[in-house]
């Protein structure tokens, strides 16, 4: 009987933890659930144990969110939420690491960086957003991403996207703890940057003024997101510019807009050494896609993960974003149109199954895989509405692949958390949840 009693106690405990699952995306890498609940029906106080002016801004923003949810902010309350910016660095090599301790009377978020505090706050915002009981399960969270580089690429060279919408995507990136926004501003023929002074005609020309670009960069930076411009040099090189004097001058203007000191050179068959030398002399970190890197350039593997692994073996840093898993212009519903011969069916569950580090056991190779990236080319995307349809919810799945270790991921668990957060990341489209994870054979049978 004793064994039977212990069995029932275990089952009850398991059911309690199952019901208490915190619906956080991306899923933290280590969660230890505990007895008890943090109750905030009567409100809470939000305090800084240690911090700076950025920490104070994080505090203010969270307080504004709480008030928008009609949660009372009670000074000197015994129920508190605290932010603590550690003076000493954590044991983690990543500045994005944080801890979050939830007890019946307090929630403590601690990190050695404001970025880490920001990510802990994102957890809390998601929990409160999906909660209707004014209670949060007690737990200890110790979390850090598997990658330092967690990116989203958006092509505005082929299809113009307004800065208002771009900021909305940046907001989603922040919620998902993505930290690199690769902004494709020039394709083979066109550059979307208007170098002349701001005029009323710029928007009608589907170009961005310098002030608009600076505003987007600032907006992203406030959310701990680095903006990396992607430029195809062919769009800014003139036929009579054999010495690349004008090209270098234009590159200089572009670089001045982006304090991150990083630039992505679009995949062209040949990048002149003069451009590479110029950027090196300017201490600009260069990313290239599917082109053999030179010196300290970073290689983005888009066409082939295998090539990326080979480059990593040679000692270059690599961003893995194989298009079969990461290209959001691929059809995600069985009935969607396949718009180019190289595209393949990419439903939500396949995107979620992406494991950048799979089959890479060599630690020397792994250390050169610095991250991954979701990609939104727009050659075949006609407008902002279609872009939203193509990006969501797969961007959410890929964000978890960039943060959470594969051993901590299960699709059914992810789908349950996603449904709880369905109105938080974007305007839900029911058809996506109904169909995107159906496998091809079931989809064929369904359509007969």
Asked if residue 285 lies in contact with residue 298, where contact means CB atoms within 8 angstroms, the answer is: yes
The DSSP string of 239-299 is TT-TT-HHHHHHHHHHHHH-TT-EEEE---S---HHHHHHHHHTT-EEEEESS---TTPEE
DSSP conformation letters of 204-250 = GGT-EEHHHHHHHHHHHHTTT-EEEEEE-GGGG--TT-TT-HHHHHH
Of the candidates 230, 233, 235, which has an alpha carbon nearest to the alpha carbon of residue 373?
230
For position 444, what pLDDT does the model report? Answer: 41
Residue 11 has pLDDT above 50, yes or no: no
From CA 348, how far away is CA 10, in angstroms rounded? Answer: 34
* Mean pLDDT to the nearest integer, 304-322: 96
- Check whether 433 has a pLDDT greater than 50: no
For the chain, give the percent of residues with pLDDT over 70. 85
CATH class held by domain 19-143: alpha beta
For residue 63, is pLDDT > 80? yes
- The residue-averaged pLDDT of 277-284 equals 88
Query: Mean pLDDT across the stretch 322-337?
Result: 94
pLDDT at site 373: 98
Give the per-residue pLDDT at 162. Answer: 96
Average pLDDT, the chain: 87
Residues of the chain with CATH 3.30.379.10: 19-143
Among 144-153, 175-184, 246-255, 349-358, name the one with the lowest average pLDDT. 246-255
**136 vs 175: CA distance, rounded Å:** 19
pLDDT value at position 88? Answer: 74
The reported pLDDT for the residue numbered 423 is 78
Among the ranges given (67-76, 88-97, 183-192, 359-368), the one the predictor scored with the smallest mean pLDDT = 88-97
* pLDDT for the residue numbered 432: 41
pLDDT band for position 438 (50/70/90)? very low
Is the pLDDT score of 28 beyond 60? yes
Residue found by looking up tokens 């960039």 in the block: 402
> What was the pLDDT predicted at 437?
40
Least confident of 154-163, 230-239, 312-321, 334-343: 230-239
Q: Looking at residue 268, what is its pLDDT?
A: 62
Q: What is the mean pLDDT of residues 376-399?
A: 95
DSSP characters over 14-40: HHHHHHT----SSPPS-EEEEEEEEE-
- Residue ranges of the chain that CATH labels 3.20.20.80: 149-447
pLDDT at 430: 41
Query: Residue 413: its pLDDT value, please?
Result: 96
Q: CA of 84: how far to CAs of 29, 75, 206, in Å?
A: 21, 18, 44
18: confidence class by pLDDT, cuts 50, 70, 90:
very low
User: CA 39, CA 133: separation in Å to the nearest integer?
Assistant: 9
Mean pLDDT of 362-382: 96
Task: Give residue 89's pLDDT.
Answer: 65
The yes-or-no verdict on residue 53 having pLDDT over 70 is yes
29-38, 81-90, 432-441: which range is least confident on average?
Answer: 432-441
pLDDT score of 323 more than 80:
yes
One of 1.10.645.10, 1.10.1660.10, 3.20.20.80, 3.40.50.300 is the CATH number of 149-447, namely 3.20.20.80
Least confident of 27-41, 168-182, 198-212, 233-247: 233-247
Percent of the chain with pLDDT over 90: 70
pLDDT at 190 over 90: no
pLDDT of residue 13: 47
Question: Which is it for strands 149-155 and 226-231: parallel, antiparallel or unpaired?
Answer: unpaired
pLDDT value at residue 334: 87
Q: Above 60 in pLDDT, residue 59?
A: yes
**Mean pLDDT along residues 198-220:** 83
For the ranges 78-92, 248-262, 299-313, which has the lowest average pLDDT?
Answer: 78-92
């Amino acid at each position: 009987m004793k064994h039977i009693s212990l069995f029932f106690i275990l089952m009850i405990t398991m059911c309690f933890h199952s019901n208490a699952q915190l619906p956080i995306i991306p899923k933290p890498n280590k969660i230890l659930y505990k007895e008890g609940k943090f109750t905030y029906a009567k409100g809470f106080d939000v305090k800084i144990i240690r911090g700076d002016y950025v920490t104070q801004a994080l505090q203010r923003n969270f307080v504004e969110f709480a008030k928008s949810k009609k949660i009372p902010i009670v000074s000197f309350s015994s129920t508190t939420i605290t932010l603590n910016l550690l003076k000493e660095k954590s044991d983690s090599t990543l500045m994005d690491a944080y801890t979050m301790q939830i007890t019946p009377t307090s929630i403590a978020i601690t990190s050695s960086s404001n970025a880490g505090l920001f990510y802990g706050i994102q957890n809390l915002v998601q929990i409160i957003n999906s909660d209707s009981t004014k209670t949060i399960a007690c737990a200890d969270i110790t979390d850090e991403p598997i990658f330092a580089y967690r990116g989203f690429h958006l092509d505005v060279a082929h299809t113009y996207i307004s800065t208002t919408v771009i900021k909305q995507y940046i907001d989603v990136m922040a919620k998902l703890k993505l930290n690199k926004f690769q902004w494709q501003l020039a394709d083979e023929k066109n550059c979307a940057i208007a170098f002349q002074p701001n005029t009323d005609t710029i928007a009608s020309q589907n170009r961005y003024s310098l002030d608009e670009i600076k505003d987007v960069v600032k907006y992203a930076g406030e959310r701990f997101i680095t903006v990396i411009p992607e430029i195809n040099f062919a769009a800014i090189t003139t036929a009579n510019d054999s010495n690349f004097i004008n090209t270098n001058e234009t590159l200089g203007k572009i670089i001045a807009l982006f304090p991150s000191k990083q630039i992505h050179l679009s995949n062209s068959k040949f990048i002149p050494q003069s451009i590479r030398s110029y950027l090196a002399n300017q201490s600009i970190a260069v990313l290239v896609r599917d082109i053999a890197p030179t010196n300290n350039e970073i290689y983005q593997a888009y066409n082939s993960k295998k090539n990326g692994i080979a480059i990593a073996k040679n000692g270059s840093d690599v961003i893995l974003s194989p298009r079969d898993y990461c290209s959001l212009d691929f059809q995600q519903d069985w009935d969607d149109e396949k718009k180019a011969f190289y595209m393949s069916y990419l439903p939500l569950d396949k995107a979620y199954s992406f494991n950048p580090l799979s089959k890479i056991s060599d630690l020397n190779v792994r250390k050169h895989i610095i991250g991954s990236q979701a990609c939104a080319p727009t050659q075949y995307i006609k407008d902002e509405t279609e872009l939203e349809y193509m990006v969501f919810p797969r961007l959410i799945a890929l964000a978890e692949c960039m943060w959470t270790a594969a051993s901590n991921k299960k699709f059914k668990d992810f789908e349950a958390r996603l449904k709880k957060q369905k109105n938080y990341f974007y305007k839900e489209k029911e058809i996506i949840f109904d169909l995107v994870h159906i496998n091809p054979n079931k989809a064929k049978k369904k359509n007969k």
